[in-house]
Structures are given as structure tokens and as C-alpha cells.
Amino acid sequence: MAAVFRDWVVITMVITEAAVVMGGFPATFKLERSIPLASHELELSELVERDRLRHGRLLESSPVGVVGFPVSGTYDPFIVGLYYTTLQLGSPPREFNVQIDTGSDIPLNFFDPGSSSTASLVSCSDQRCSSGIQASDSTCSGSSNQCSYTFQYGDGSGTSGYYVSDLLHFNTVLPGSTTGNATASIMFGCSMLHTGKLTDSHRAVDGIFGFGQQSLSVISQLSSQQVTPRAFSHCLKGNDDGGGILVLGEIVEPDMVYTPLVPSMPHYNLDLRSISVGGQVLSIDASVFSTSINHGAIIDSGTTLSYLADEAYNAFIDAINNAVSEHVHPVLSHGNQCYLITDSIGHIFPEASFNFAGGASLILHPEDFLIQQNPIGGSAVWCIGFKTIEGQKLTILGDLVMKDKIFVYDLEKQRIGWVHHQSMSPYILNREKPNSSMRGR
């Protein structure tokens, strides 16, 4: 039995750097946000449209992922409300801004393999190409022996290219809180052509850093090489500056609560049991939360807002309206449930709670389900940030509810944990060296 090395380190989240793990030792990525989620200049309809395009592909995914990239085809990663990090790829290393996306698997990036002395094309005979074909819209050309892909998105945009293997560079945090440099070989999609909205000049990132749980995601590739444990964590800052922390490893907090992942699902599906508002459980039929390929609750960092099935959404809105009826008058703005407010939302709105299997509850403060819009007269305008996916019994928890919390994705134990966290306070990393039996999914 391989020896296990365990160490604990305390780091302060002032510099918004995140830990990756090399041999169990954390390393760092810095997170940014392309445009602050709280930007009042953005219409909710713009955010809904961006999320809607993302969710179309999510609903097409199958348990074995044969249709395509889970989720990645339905969202546009180059516009508002996206968290991203800077990667270094190749030799010599070049920097790329890539979105942190827990709903996608295979990393995609604009990349010129001719500029890197360590880049190599992935051939049709490579086992990773077979995995890519099973998990995405990949093909293999017999004439060129080159593993390639084409993705078509719900808004008519598309991207195509071929798979490349090259070095990922990152910084490690070693025992004694010293730092060092490390590299690991990963396979990623080298995008050669973008069409439609993917060509817009205001796009903020170069690609996708896929953190799904299938075999070609970043975390699965690195853990299969025993470079990292099969766990990662993030804390997305919710203030106007954005940013946050990404850790390839486990952040440990004493008040962390966990709920098991629903087995045999392509996404990070959780067993949602009920929703409460102001301490009162809402009257929602349990079948609304049942899990199947197109039903249930999903955690997805690539979704900006959050979404509820129609029945749950209506019950949620009614409960909020009833709770605030003595203080504010609900109004509709462009089809969105909004409120004109002259006081602090914390003094007016109740807390909500999403209650999951295992007794884990995700507590939402008013700022976790409300988004501020442009003021009217002397009143602030706050709108509900939850929407519906028409005709679908699907709950998607996106950046709106995930911000200002630590989320831990423990793939080894098949569970997800969370805890509220102020981004300037310290956190603890569990640095456990992967044993020889560790394998990626």
C-alpha cells in the first residue's frame, strides 16, 4: 500500500490565487471575471439568452456522453458573467485566458502547435481520440490520421479544430509554504475556426477549461497521471471586482456540508429534496426534483443565473412576494419579477434554502437570488435572478448562487460540499499525495 502524505497549509485569499496540486501539493491559478455579475447595465434578458443557448446542449447529453460535450454547446463563453483563469501552455509557455467551466469536459483553446516544441497532434490510433469520439462531436480522418472535432452551438455559432497534446505549466505550493514550478501533459482541442457569434470582437476568453467528471476533463486527465487528487475547489468572489480562487485539490473548512453526487450522470447532478423560503418548506411535488438525463438539479459554473422548473419557480416567486408584500410592491419589468426598493435588501427579503440529500442545505441570502438593475427615480431596482427552462423539470445552480462560497468537488468520494466564505479570510488546503491506485474517470 502506497504511503500517504498529508499536510495542512493556511493561505489568505487576499491575492485571489488558487491551488493546483502536483504530487498532492497545491499550485496556483488566478481567477478573473470578464464582466462583473452585478453590472447594472446588463439586461436580465441578455444573461438569460446566454444561459439558454448553453442549456440546449445540456438537455441533449446522454449518460455516456455520445451526443456531444456535456453542456458546452449551449453557452457562449465569450460574454458576460464568466469567471476565467490564465493558463500557460506549450514550450516556450504562452498565456491564454480560459473560462472555468464545470459543465464541460474536454478543454478547448485557440492554439498554434507550430509555436511549441513540445506539442504533438493526437492521432486516430491514440486511445484518447477514442474517448473524445465517445464524449463529443469528434471525428477521425483516415487520410490524415488526425483526431479532429466540430461543435455547433444553439445560436448558430460553431468551432472546429483538432486535438493536441502539450504541456500545462503551473505553480505549486510545497511543504513549508514554498513555491515551485511544475508541468503536466494534457490533451485539448486546438480551435482553428470560429463562426457566428464566436467571432465577435468583445469576447473575453481564448477557450474553455473543462472541469466536468468525464475522462478527458482537466481534473480527470491530471488525476489519471497522479498529478492531482480527484478533487478541486473554487470560491468565486461576488463583489464588483470579481475574481476568486481555483484549487486543484480540496479546501477544508469546519462548517463544510456535503451531499452525494447522483451516480451515473454526465454532469454534477445533486439530489434536491425541497426548497424553503423564510424557514417554510414550499409545497412542491417531489417529482419536480427527480433526477434523470433531462431532470434534476445540476451545479454549473458556466451558467450565469440560476434556473428552476416551472412549478418550483412559481412557488418560489409566490413565497418571496408574500414575504415582502408589507414592505415593497412587486412589479414586472420585461417579464422579470422585480421590486422597487429604498431600503437594504437584507432588511426586506427572507433567506431561502435549497435542501439536498444527506441533510446538506444551501442557504441563499437575498443577494444570492436577486440582481440589481438600473434605478428608477430614487428607488433601487432588484430582480429575481432565477428563471425557468420552459417545459423542463431542471434546476441549474449557476454563478449567482455559487458566488461567495467555497465549493468542493470530491470526485474520489463522489460528493460536493460548500460553505459560505468571505474571500479575504484564510482557508485550509488538504494536501494529500495521491496513492498508486488513483485513476481519473
Query: What is the per-residue pLDDT across 2-38, written as a single tens digit (0 to 9) for each?
Result: 332 223 333 333 323 333 333 454 544 555 555 454 4
pLDDT confidence of residue 237: 82
Q: Is residue 85 one of the residues assigned to a domain?
A: yes
Choice between 241 and 365, residue whose per-residue pLDDT is larger: 365
State pLDDT tens for residues 107-160.
888 888 999 999 999 998 888 887 766 655 667 766 778 888 876 654 456 678
pLDDT confidence of residue 427: 56
Q: Are residues 77 and 111 in the same domain?
A: yes
Q: Are residues 361 and 325 in the same domain?
A: yes
pLDDT confidence of residue 384: 94
- Could you tell me which residues come within 8 angstroms of residue 413 by beta carbon, excluding any fewer than 6 positions away? none
Q: Are residues 221 and 287 in the same domain?
A: no
pLDDT tier, 166 (very low <50, low <70, confident <90, very high otherwise): very high
Q: Which helix (H) or strand (E) holds 50?
A: helix 44-60
Residue 166 among the catalytic residues: no
- Report the chain's mean pLDDT, rounded to a whole number: 76
- The separation between the first and the last C-alpha atoms of the chain, rounded to the nearest angstrom, is 21
- In the chain, % of residues over pLDDT 90: 34
Q: Is residue 334 one of the residues assigned to a domain?
A: yes
The CATH number assigned to the domain holding 228 equals: 2.40.70.10
pLDDT confidence of residue 167: 96
Does the structure show a pLDDT above 90 at 283? yes
Q: Are residues 172 and 249 in the same domain?
A: yes
Q: Are residues 160 and 243 in the same domain?
A: yes
For residues 338 and 332, is the Cβ–Cβ distance under 8 A?
yes
Domain that holds residue 220: 6-253+425-432
Residue 310 among the catalytic residues: no
**Active-site residue, selected from the candidate residues 126, 166, 206, 300:** 300
Choice between 196 and 139, residue whose per-residue pLDDT is larger: 139
Q: Is residue 199 one of the residues assigned to a domain?
A: yes
- Could you tell me which residues come within 8 angstroms of residue 423 by beta carbon, excluding any fewer than 6 positions away? 13, 16, 235, 237, 243, 244, 245, 404
**Active-site residue, selected from the candidate residues 51, 101, 399, 410:** 101
Lowest mean pLDDT segment, chosen from 74-88, 171-185, 186-200? 74-88
Q: Are residues 242 and 363 in the same domain?
A: no
Number of domain units in the chain: 2
Q: Are residues 132 and 156 in the same domain?
A: yes
Does the structure show a pLDDT above 50 at 287? yes
CA 145, distance to chain mean position in Å, is 33
Does the structure show a pLDDT above 80 at 51? no
